[in-house]
Amino acid sequence: MYEPHRSKTSYTTNLASCIVATVFLLFLAARIVIVYFLLFKPKDPKIAVDAVQFPTFSVANSTVDFTFLQYVTVSNPNRDAFTHYDNSLQLAYSDAPVN
């Protein structure tokens, strides 16, 4: 069977076409991201502490026992839903973590 011989210019043309297509796709992706941020203008949710209460608080034998209640309002100025899963509290005494 006869197989046509590929010339070096054919390989160079194919490589140049791939490079041009890649650059075009990168510019297209960048423009999509820019348009998204210009149209939707995502903003951080606003978190406000409404009230803090200590319903029970006692000190006995160098031990502190208390109940801490905190009421928080979260408002989302964005169109999409806001979900927050990571709730954590860290307590420190004299800049040292308490376990």
Task: Report which of residues 7 and 40 the model is more confident about.
Answer: 40
Cα atoms in the 13 Å half-sphere on the side-chain side of 72: 11
The tokens of 77 are what?
């100025």
pLDDT at 29 over 70: yes
Which residues contact residue 42 at a Cβ distance below 8 angstroms, ignoring those fewer than 6 apart? Answer: 78
Distance from the Cα of residue 69 to its chain's centroid: 28
Dist CA 64 CA 42 (whole Å): 43
Dig out the tokens for 31 from the structure.
């423009």
User: How many CA within 13 A on the CB side of residue 52?
Assistant: 4
39-85 pLDDT tens trace: 877 788 888 999 988 888 899 988 888 888 888 888 888 776 666 66
- Write out the two tokens for 11: 């390989």
Q: In the predicted model, what is the mean pLDDT of the chain?
A: 81
**What's the confidence (pLDDT) of residue 38?**
84
Of 39, 48, 29, 50, nearest in space to 78 by CA:
39
Q: Give percent of the chain with pLDDT exceeding 90.
A: 19
